[in-house]
Amino acid sequence: MTQMLPLNDGRHIPQLGFGLWQVPAATTAETTATALNLGYRLVDGAAIYGNEAGQGEGIRRSGLPREQVFVTTKVWNSEQGFDKTLRAAEASLKRLGLTHVDLLLIHWPCPRKDLYLDTWRALIRLREEGRATSIGVSNFQEPQLTRLIGETGVTPVLNQVEINPRLQQPALRAFHAKHGIVTQSWTPLGQGKSFETAPVQAAVRRTGKSPAQVILRWHLQIGAAVIPRSTREAGLRENLNLFDFALTEAEMAAIATLDEGQRCGPDPARFEMD
Ligand code: NAD
C-alpha cells in the first residue's frame, strides 16, 4: 500500500509510517495493531516513549508476519556511550519482544556530552550482530553527520528530524541527498500551524483532501519519509490515504514559501536532556 524508499545499505524503508510518541502505554498495542491492520507497515517508537512493550505486542496482535513490519526504536540520551548503548538496545529488544529491530537510531546527538561517536560505534556493532538491520540517527546536524562518516566510514541510512511547512530544512535535506541519507520527518503536521495558510487551503479546495493530507503529501513529494501520529482510527485512516492524488509544481512551490525556520520542538544543537 505504501511506497518504499531505498536505503544506502541495500535495504528499503516504507516512506509512510506512524509514530508512537505520547501514545499511552496502556493503549499502544491497540493503536499499533489497528494501524497495521489499516495498512501501515512502519512503526516508529523509542525507549523514552515508555511504550515499547505495547509496540511489540501490537505487532504480534496484528497477525502480520514479522518481516512485513518495519520496526524502529531509538537509544535515549542517558544511554549514550559504547557499553551503555549495547545494554540499552538489548533492553529495548526485550521490551519489544523481538530478536531485532529494522532500524535503530541515536535519538539526539547531545553535542556537549560528546558521546555520539562512541554511541554510533555501538550501533555499528549491533548491526554486525544482527540486532539492528539498519542504523541511523535523529536530530543530527551537518557537522555531526560529517564527523560520524569521517571517523567510522559508516553513513547513517536515515536522519529523523523535525520537518513541516514552517521548518523545511532545505540545506540539511540537500546534505542528506548528497550522502544518500533518507530524510524522515517528525512532527510532520507542525502542530497544525500551517493548516489555515493560503497555499494549503488552495490545495485543499482543489484536491478535496484535508489540510493534514495535503501536508503529508507535500512530505512525500519532497522525497521525505514521514511518520504522523494519530490515536484515532479515523485519523490513522486519513493519514494513510495519500496515494490517490498529487500536488502540482505550483502548489509545491507555494508551500515552499511557508518556511520560516520555526521549530515546534527543541533545538538539537542545545538539547541534552537525560
Ligand atoms: P504529528 O505532526 O504527527 O502530529 C500529531 C498531532 O496531530 C496529534 O495531536 C494528532 O492528534 C494530530 N493529528 C494527527 N493526524 C491528524 C489529522 N489528519 N488531522 C488533524 N490533526 C491530526 O506530530 P508528532 O507526534 O510530534 O510526530 C510524529 C512522530 O514523530 C511521533 O509520534 C514520533 O514517533 C516521532 N517524533 C520523533 C522525534 C525525535 O526526536 N526523533 C520528536 C518528535 C516526534
Q: State if residue 266 touches ligand 1 by the CB under 6 angstroms criterion.
A: no
Q: State if residue 81 touches ligand 1 by the CB under 6 angstroms criterion.
A: no
Q: State if residue 217 touches ligand 1 by the CB under 6 angstroms criterion.
A: no
Active site residue 116: no
* Sequence spans of domains, the chain: 11-192+219-231
Closest CA to 56 of 100, 105, 86, 89: 100
**Active-site position among 5, 7, 31, 49:** 49
Tell me what pLDDT residue 2 has: 73
Distance 98 CA to ligand 1 centre (A): 25
Environment class of 59 (CB within 10 Å of its CB; exposed 0-12, middle 13-18, buried 19+)? buried
Q: State if residue 235 touches ligand 1 by the CB under 6 angstroms criterion.
A: yes
Low-confidence ranges of the chain (pLDDT < 50): none
Distance 129 CA to ligand 1 centre (A): 32
Tell me what pLDDT residue 127 has: 98
Residue having the nearest C-alpha atom to atom 13 of ligand 1: 230
Distance 150 CA to ligand 1 centre (A): 33
Nearest-atom index, ligand 1, CA of 239: 18
Architecture of the domain defined by 11-192+219-231: Alpha-Beta Barrel (3.20)
Tell me what pLDDT residue 100 has: 98
Q: State if residue 186 touches ligand 1 by the CB under 6 angstroms criterion.
A: yes
Nearest-atom index, ligand 1, CA of 236: 15
- Rounded to two decimals, the pTM is 0.99
Tell me what pLDDT residue 1 has: 55
Q: What is the C-alpha separation between 16 and 184, in angstroms, rounded?
A: 9
Residue in the block written with cell 554510533: 120
Beta strand 70-75 with 132-138 is unpaired
